[in-house]
Structure 1
Amino acid sequence: MKIKTRHVLLLVVVLLVLHFFYKPNTAVVEVNNYTHKAENAESYTHVYTTETVNDKRVDNVASKVKAQPKPTSVQQNSCELIHDPEELEYAQSELSQLNDNLDFTAEQFDIGPYTSVNLITPNVNSDYHKTLRIRLFKAYEKYQNVFGLYPNKSILINLVVLPNNYYDDYVSRFGALPSNNAGIYFGKNNTALVRFDKADPQSSLRVAIHEAMHVINFNLIGSTSSWLNEGIAEVFENTLIYKTNRTIAIPTYRLRRTYMEFRSLIDSEALWEQQSYRGDLYANANNWLAFFIQHKQGRRVLKAIVQAEAKNPCSTLENEVILNALSTYFIDYEQAYLVWLKASKQVKGEFIPVY
């Protein structure tokens, strides 16, 4: 059969059009100046004492915040997360009742450009409120340093630590059922409530930073998978936890939980609601995030993943996109993690310095 010349020319034109204008459905993870594209698929020493607090740093917190430049946000939002104006107003109204209560210390301050905190704590001693303020400032500073995320509009975070007789009442007021949990956050009104533990005030400090990190994640990243949301909160809750040249550390007992491969961890979203799995999931999220942050190449890839998540706050990256980015830019990450895990288990003491 003879093929006419005009048919050949028509076929060439069609192929050229497809080549130059057709773009497959892809998700992009950028690492430094390189771009990795993956096709979407349908399934695819220690604790809190006054010695750990640098008083000079405390005095310079406000001036340091004001001196910081206001960097351009890396977010390119294709949607807006819902912050209900009525909910925001309701939160301020309910919490204002504690401002004049002599059982509490209330203070509003900046922790970074466009980011303020309304901190309310019980009057347990002179150092508790100040220590929480310092730790939150440093946690946010390190968070921005690791992930390069900055708000492009003002955020007011309500961080409230409450004794038992207040905690359950306020949890109910904010629309949740009281339970035995140590803390809870509400993204729609930027509020984190924490149960104060008289027997262990240190644990309340950690929970407060943990819940504040969730509110920060909600505002700067948006919707996040549990491994990332909880992993970030777990790692940063231990900011300034003990005297070291590193700001962030993780507890060694976490390393003794059942080991999970990274793929198993990120594929486990449905298991987070099952109590029997949560201990291992929290520990592995903590350990993997700590490893990535401590490892130079891991930190670069993690930053790229988080920034890619932040570009569309109303959805999460496909797991295969994350795994492809890691296998491209950090080829031996599983082996490197196992080496890190083995070495970390040899560390004596309660905490391992991370960053």
Structure 2
Amino acid sequence: MFKTKLRVVFVFFVLLIASALIANHFTGRVFNCHDPIGEVKRIYNSLSSQVTTEPLATKQLKNVSSATLQNASVPADNHLSQANNTRCVDVSLGKVKYKRNGDIFTWTDSDGVPHFSDKKPDFAVATYDTGFIEPLDYFDLSLNTPNLPSSFNQELRIKLNTVFKVYGQIIGVHALKKVKLNLTVLPTRRAYEAAIKQRSADPTNTAGMYFHASNSAFIHYDNAHSAMRTAVHEAVHAINKAVLGYTPRWFNEGFAEYFELTKNNMQTAIVEPNSSWTKNNNITKSVFSIDLLVGLDDSWKKGDTSKLYASSWAAIYFLMDTQAGRSLLNNIMLAEQEFLCNKLSEKQLKTMMYKQFPNLNREYSQRLKKPLKAHIF
């Protein structure tokens, strides 16, 4: 009798170890030894509820009337919760590679005049280390643009690299990861809808859709400007997932909306205020306060998605507007990156926000009443 009980206990612990291995492999989670039975239940529920064919995020059509949306069979914003769509895996290609670029040689001539050159002369000189490094590669980007002009392809590549450079200035270049993205821009609505339906998703009232499972995005080319905006939007979702892992919905959508109107002038990146929510340098839509917004992750499926998008953009714009805000974003991004499979909680976010901005709501409200300028990096 006693030996039988020992066998039962032994089998039980073997099953627990197997569950731990399953947890590590499929979810990236650390097995909770303090609550083994509860952990097994959570793992089972998590795995049984995963749907890998659904998209991580979609881009709504900006020009759909409210009447059309009310009569549509599905919501205009067919966004789905990140955690419920795919198992937690690191989809990045590892760290971005860098090379040093910028050592300067300096010397003083017989007249006491200092000289600087990036080419070493044939006599003894001192070396001034600028410490400047540049990335060798940001993306493994497969860009498929059938029947579209090559200029569109080239401009999109330049724009995405500009976005990634600004992104790197926020999180810090050494925290960046190389992003793999398969991006297809389809020239007709019929071709776009067929591609989305083939992947068991609904293209209704969407202009673009990013699929986490295949790390790919599909864009409808209505015109060059809107297609470019949508392509950037979906690419930012891929960047967020590869670099940060799971993130709160307002953060993920806010960054995607923020970078839509990115352009570059020589080595300067310029991010214009999103024209979907602004006009004549003023915000045109009522938005949630930031401390309320961070608690609305569950409202995206049934709430006022237009207001949620506008609020998410406004929150990121506000934080990107000052050094203090960018410092807070840096802290949030590094904290998210530390645990790729978990999102910061509402409580954690508010603690970080109010530490940086004790008068957050007042400062936020006052800033949105002032003209909204382009951000230059």
TM-score computed with the length of structure 2 as normaliser: 0.59
In structure 2, distance between residues paired with 1:155 and 1:252: 27
Residue type of the alignment partner of 2:313 = N
Residues 286-308 of structure 1: CA distance to partner in whole angstroms, max 9, x if unpaired?
01101101111011011101110
In structure 2, distance between residues paired with 1:247 and 1:265: 26
In structure 1, distance between residues paired with 2:267 and 2:89: 38
Structure 2 counterpart of 1:118, from 117, 127, 142? 142
In structure 2, distance between residues paired with 1:297 and 1:123: 45
Q: Does 1:81 align with 2:89?
A: yes
Structure 1 residues 266, 172: closer, same or farther in 2, change over 3 A? Answer: same
In structure 1, distance between residues paired with 2:90 and 2:267: 40
Structure 1 residues 140, 265: closer, same or farther in 2, change over 3 A? Answer: same
* Corresponding residue SS for 2:310: helix
In structure 2, distance between residues paired with 1:186 and 1:116: 16
Structure 1 residues 82, 302: closer, same or farther in 2, change over 3 A? Answer: closer
Residue type of the alignment partner of 1:133 = R
Q: In structure 2, what is the equivalent of residue 303 of structure 1?
A: 330
In structure 1, distance between residues paired with 2:266 and 2:206: 29
Q: Does 1:333 align with 2:356?
A: no
Q: In structure 2, what is the equivalent of residue 35 of structure 1?
A: none
Q: Larger relative CO (CA 8 A, sep 6+): 1 or 2? A: 1
Alignment of 1:201-280 (within 5 A): 201-240=224-263, 247-252=270-275, 254=277, 255-274=283-302, 277-280=304-307
In structure 2, distance between residues paired with 1:241 and 1:170: 31
Shift of 1:333: 2.6
In structure 2, distance between residues paired with 1:81 and 1:128: 32
Q: In structure 2, what is the equivalent of residue 134 of structure 1?
A: 158
TM-score computed with the length of structure 1 as normaliser: 0.62
Shift of 1:141: 1.1
Does 308-317 or 334-343 show the bigger shift?
334-343
In structure 1, distance between residues paired with 2:210 and 2:230: 11
Shift of 1:208: 0.3
* Corresponding residue SS for 1:135: helix
- Contact (CA 8 Å) 1:149, 1:307: kept in 2 or not? no
Bigger proportion of residues as helix: 1
Shift of 1:330: 2.1
Structure 2 counterpart of 1:292, from 319, 323, 326? 319
Residues 243-300 of structure 1: CA distance to partner in whole angstroms, max 9, x if unpaired?
99651111355121113111111111121112x5011110110011011011110110
Q: In structure 2, what is the equivalent of residue 354 of structure 1?
A: 375
Residues 168-209 of structure 1: CA distance to partner in whole angstroms, max 9, x if unpaired?
222123332332310010112210111110xx3201100000
Aligned identity (percent) is 28
Q: In structure 2, what is the equivalent of residue 194 of structure 1?
A: 219
- Contact (CA 8 Å) 1:157, 1:215: kept in 2 or not? yes
Structure 1 residues 112, 287: closer, same or farther in 2, change over 3 A? Answer: farther
Alignment of 1:30-109 (within 5 A): 81=89
In structure 2, distance between residues paired with 1:248 and 1:117: 22
Residue type of the alignment partner of 1:322 = L
* Corresponding residue SS for 1:240: strand
Structure 1 residues 112, 203: closer, same or farther in 2, change over 3 A? Answer: farther
- Contact (CA 8 Å) 2:258, 2:273: kept in 1 or not? yes
- Contact (CA 8 Å) 1:149, 1:220: kept in 2 or not? no
Q: In structure 2, what is the equivalent of residue 40 of structure 1?
A: none
Shift of 1:113: 3.3
Residue type of the alignment partner of 2:331 = A
Shift of 1:331: 1.7
